[in-house]
Amino acid sequence: MGKTELADSVRDTKMLFSRLAKALGSNGVLTGAHITETYTSDWGKDRMGRCLAVVRPASTEEVSLVCRLCSDAGVSIVPQGGHTGLVGGAQHPDGDCILLSTQRLNTIHQIDPDNLSCIVEAGVVLESLQTSLAERGLQFGVSIGSQGSAQIGGLVSTNAGGVRVLHQGMTASHVLGLELVLADGSVVSSISGLHKDNRGPDPLRIAIGGEGAFGVVTKACLRISPQWTSSATAYVGCASFGDALALLRHLRMGAHEVLSAFEVMSDACLPLARYVDPTLIPPLTAPVHVLVEFCSTMQLPLDSLLEAALASAMEDDFAQDAVVAKSDAQAKRLWALREGLVEGHSRRGYHVRSDVSVRLGRLPEAVSSLEAMLATEYPGWIAQSYGHLGDGNLHFNALPPESMAEAEARSIGTRIEQRIFDIVLELDGSFSAEHGIGRTKAGWFRQTMPERFELLGRIKGAFDPGGVMNPGCLLPVEGGS
Ligand SMILES: Cc1cc2nc3c(=O)[nH]c(=O)nc-3n(C[C@H](O)[C@H](O)[C@H](O)COP(=O)(O)OP(=O)(O)OC[C@H]3O[C@@H](n4cnc5c(N)ncnc54)[C@H](O)[C@@H]3O)c2cc1C
């Protein structure tokens, strides 16, 4: 860019922000020192992004205006919810963009108990929605560890999974309709509130898991359900991931309707929870720890049903030991171990993170191949195998030796990531089970799924012909990685 062009571009950008500030109020546009790390970094402070401004519209009309003005000025738009996403989708490395924060789009417009649906703005935090629904004896079926920050728009845009997928499905299965603002500012809605609405395919569903590349989700109509009235939680020790799988099979055959969560953690993961709370001690010792939850809307004796199922699993030798929580407080404490270890990884520092899936029957093989690879090729690194076993979803993380400098760990970490990717593909698995593609996996996506990549690119062209919506996320930009 020549000097004159640069001066023109700076003047245009200044003009854009002054127009936006006029329309949205000074609180709606943050520039310079007002752009804090809260916006530019991800949850774990692992990835830092940059931007020209943070723009915080408070209504669909304002989002529409922002998109139209930015498109006209050729400035890219990176939508951002609670920035808990783990693949860098809401952080732009180059900074020639605005961050469109949905923070102020936080109204719950409707909760309809007869229709079992709700209409919420994109910036509503998942936990706030759950609280409002619980007050009415209702619930939303997605449960993730980041629910205190993650927003509905983020959940939809990443098609988030979480701990209830085996019972309730991923976010996509809860979306009845969406309101989407396209790059040119047009507002398109498929929100009818109808459970059955087969008037042709809904093109807006491309935004589910679309990671902001197709438009800004401003509202969602979500399927909800009655709140559970009985539940039971158990912590089980197994000798291996193979035995944990046998336990899952056993529980499914006898209690499929009420089995609402089945989470696994290798023993090496548990000390990590103590980075968050030093008093988090597992109630038993075993090579593999399993959290099992039964839930129902009926008043069922789930504690005794779960106890009986576990007793027979112990007789058959695929469970070594088990503790059934005697109160809600005890159940919460058991869940804190599972949730704590995720935060513990971040508190410990840089680590390799993965989110892979294989067909359920191959999960034990995936764990042993990945752990063997780390032990033989990268001695000193600590394997962390945990995840949503009920969905064949494994988070295989690798912690560098504590004495290793971060720069060296990051460089080796890239090679470990590639090895994880290779092993999972050999097992016909997926290198992204629930976190999405974002920026960190966009290169792999293009490399391994060229037909899907090419078709998505064509569809993107219809939604965003100028390519201003979250460039480089999901679909890498030409010449990029
Ligand atoms: C402790 C922890 C536990 C987690 N557990 C799980 C888990 O169990 N399962 C799981 O699936 N994920 C999990 N995650 C990942 C993350 O929480 C989810 O991906 C979540 O859905 C992201 O929501 P967010 O509002 O933070 O989105 P952000 O991180 O802000 O954004 C994520 C992506 O969506 C886009 N986006 C956000 N809002 C919009 C919008 N309104 N319109 C268009 N695009 C938008 C962004 O551009 C970005 O590409 C976890 C994360 C943490 C930190």
Which of helix, strand or coil describes residue 365?
Answer: helix
d(CA 474, CA 457): 10
**CA-CA-CA-CA torsion sign (446, 51, 19, 179):** positive
* Phi-psi domain of 467 (left: phi exceeds 0; alpha: psi -120 through 50; beta: other): left
> Which among 444, 437, 349, 318 is positioned nearest to 44, based on CA atoms?
349
Tell me the Ramachandran region of residue 188: left when phi exceeds 0, alpha when psi lies from -120 to 50, beta otherwise.
beta
Closest residue to atom 9 of ligand 1, CA basis:
162
Q: Is 384 helix (H, G, I), strand (E, B) or coil?
A: strand
d(CA 456, CA 136): 40
Is the pLDDT at 481 greater than 50? The verdict is no
Cα 91 from chain centroid?
15
Q: Where are the beta strands (DSSP E) in 185-267?
A: 187-189, 216-223, 225-226, 230-238, 259-266
DSSP state, 189? Answer: E
Above 90 in pLDDT, residue 300? yes
pLDDT band at 14 (very low <50, low <70, confident <90, very high): confident
Could you give the C-alpha distances from 106 to 35, 162, 220, 472, in angstroms and in order? 21, 22, 12, 27
Q: Which of 158, 208, 269, 445 most suits a substitution to test ligand 1, by most atoms within 8 Å of the C-beta?
A: 158
User: Distance, CA 320 to ligand 1 centroid (Å)?
Assistant: 36
pTM over the 0.75 mark: yes
Neighbouring C-alpha atoms within 13 Å toward the C-beta of 364: 14
Does residue 5 have a pLDDT over 70?
no
Cα(158) to ligand 1 centroid in Å equals 6
Going from the Cα of 471 to the center of ligand 1, the distance in angstroms, rounded, reads 17
251 pLDDT higher than 70:
yes
**CB-CB contact of 429 with 37 (8 Å):** no
Phi-psi region at 464: left, alpha or beta (left = phi > 0; alpha = psi -120 to 50): beta
pLDDT digits (tens, 9 = 90+) for 377-394: 999 999 999 999 999 999
* Any ligand 1 atom below 6 A from CB of 393: no
Q: Is the CB of 160 under 6 A from ligand 1?
A: yes
Q: Is 122 close to ligand 1, i.e. is its CB under 6 Å away?
A: yes
285 C-alpha to center of ligand 1: Å? 33
- Find where tokens 């899936």 sit: 357
Q: Which atom of ligand 1 is nearest to the CA of 342?
A: 1
Q: What pLDDT is recorded for position 219?
A: 98
CA 46 to chain centre: 16
- Tokens 């529980």 correspond to 251
| Complete domains list, the chain, with CATH | 3-101 (3.30.43.10), 108-226 (3.30.465.10), 229-348 (3.30.70.2190), 350-437 (3.30.70.2740)
Residues 178-203 have a mean pLDDT of 97
How far apart CA 105 and CA 293 sit, in angstroms, is 34
User: Residue with the nearest Cα to atom 23 of ligand 1?
Assistant: 154
What is the model's pLDDT at position 478? 61
Contact 86, 437 (CB under 8 A): no
Q: What is the pLDDT of residue 440?
A: 94
**Per-residue pLDDT tens over the stretch 129-160:** 999 999 999 999 999 999 999 999 999 999 99
Instruction: Please compute the mean of the pLDDT values over residues 196-223 and round it to a whole number.
Output: 97
